[in-house]
Amino acid sequence: MSLELLSAQQTDEGMAVTFGTDRGVERLVGTPDQMAHLARAMQQVAALGQLGEHESVWLDAVPVGDAIVKLGLNPGGQARVLILRA
């Protein structure tokens, strides 16, 4: 799944971030700490993608509000993302 940041804003709950994905628009609402954890995990996946992995792996699962955002790599170093709702 590709991931494109569409918007980000502060909310009463903390932060809301909207992504465009292959599956449509996904909105995540979470605390600033959760969003910071997600951003760090996304940076790590991007850095590891340059190593040219040859298999599909999940590297991190980040809780954000009512969702779990799984981040990983596909063969060739392409990032993979899966947003699971509770």
Q: Got the DSSP string for 44-60? A: HHHHHHTT--SS-EEEE
Sign of the torsion angle spanned by Cα atoms 25, 43, 36, 41: positive
* Residues 14-39 pLDDT 10s: 999 999 988 899 999 999 999 999 99
Mean pLDDT, the chain, whole residue set: 87
Structure tokens that stand for 80 in this block:
């993979």
Map out the domains of the chain as residue ranges: 3-85
Range with the poorest average pLDDT among 16-25, 52-61, 66-75, 77-86: 52-61
pLDDT at position 77: 78
> The pTM is what?
0.75
